[in-house]
């Protein structure tokens, strides 16, 4: 029986990081999905990857009150920020820009990802200009960052 996935994709991926990157937003073996805000896009994920990166996800999926429903709706997240947040969980890397840093940092704080929060802070610090200084300051206060 033919599979829509390459049957031997693992052999071409030399490292765990490469294999995780292949699984990022991939339906293959996914066991949880998410939607964001008003978007109809479904993000496929793997509880194991999320739970090993975040104590919040661990509690959501494996704690006493584990969430069983899928897709999980995240009304407080935008699609671009959530995509980059997930990418970081799978690859330890993501594209944080001045435009998405606040949204990604919100998710990093919500899911207790301090290393990602620090990356977002660095991007925001580097993007401060006279026309956005008050917005960045307001967000820093809201997120309890200095």
Name the more confident of 27 and 8: 27
With bands split at pLDDT 50, 70 and 90, how would you rate the model's confidence at 40?
confident
Q: Would you say residue 142 has pLDDT above 80?
A: no
How buried is 106 (Cβ within 10 angstroms: 0-12 exposed, 13-18 middle, 19+ buried)?
Answer: buried
105 vs 65, residue with greater confidence: 105
Number of other residues whose CB lies within 10 A of the CB of residue 52: 11
- Structure tokens that stand for 116 in this block: 């990602």
Q: How far is CA 106 from the centre of its chain?
A: 11
% the chain with pLDDT above 90? 51
Give the chain's domains with CATH numbers.
15-145 (3.30.710.10)
More confident residue, 127 or 144: 127
Over the stretch 123-141, which tens digit does the pLDDT of each residue have? Answer: 888 877 777 666 766 766 6
């Amino acid at each position: 029986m033919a599979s829509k996935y390459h049957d031997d994709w693992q052999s071409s991926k030399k490292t765990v990081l490469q294999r995780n990157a292949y699984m990022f937003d991939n339906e293959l073996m996914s066991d949880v999905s998410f939607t964001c805000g008003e978007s109809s896009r479904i993000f496929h994920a793997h509880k194991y990857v999320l739970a090993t990166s975040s104590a919040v996800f661990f509690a959501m999926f494996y704690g006493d009150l584990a969430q069983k429903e899928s897709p999980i709706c995240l009304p407080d997240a935008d699609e671009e920020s959530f995509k980059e947040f997930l990418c970081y969980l799978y690859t330890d890397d993501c594209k944080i820009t001045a435009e998405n840093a606040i949204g990604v940092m919100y998710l990093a704080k919500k899911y207790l990802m301090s290393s990602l929060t620090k990356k977002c802070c660095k991007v925001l610090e580097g993007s401060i200009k006279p026309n956005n200084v008050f917005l960045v300051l307001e967000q820093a206060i809201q997120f309890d960052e200095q």
